[in-house]
Amino acid sequence: MRTLHNAVAKRSRRLLSYKSAGLLAQILSGTPGFDSARIRITVGPPSDQRDARAAGETAR
């Protein structure tokens, strides 16, 4: 699951606008067994990503 999450996150930053990336995350969150909370955190302005990543590391 983590590889999928990372791949989508990288692509969404590079290829999609934040709005499209959010939509993609919503579509993927409809997939059974997909962790939508983590992908939603990853998509967004870079400053949010840094905070979310730090929070994710401590949560683990």
Over the stretch 2-56, which tens digit does the pLDDT of each residue have? 666 666 666 655 555 666 766 777 676 666 555 555 555 555 555 555 555 555 5
Instruction: Return the residue matching tokens 């997939």.
Output: 31
Name the burial class of residue 21, with classes exposed (0-12), middle (13-18) and buried (19+) by CB atoms within 10 angstroms of its CB. Answer: buried
Domain positions in the chain: 2-59
In this prediction, residue 10 carries a pLDDT of 66
pTM, entire model: 0.24
> Is the separation of the CB atoms in 56 and 38 below 8 Å?
yes
Quote the pLDDT of residue 9.
65
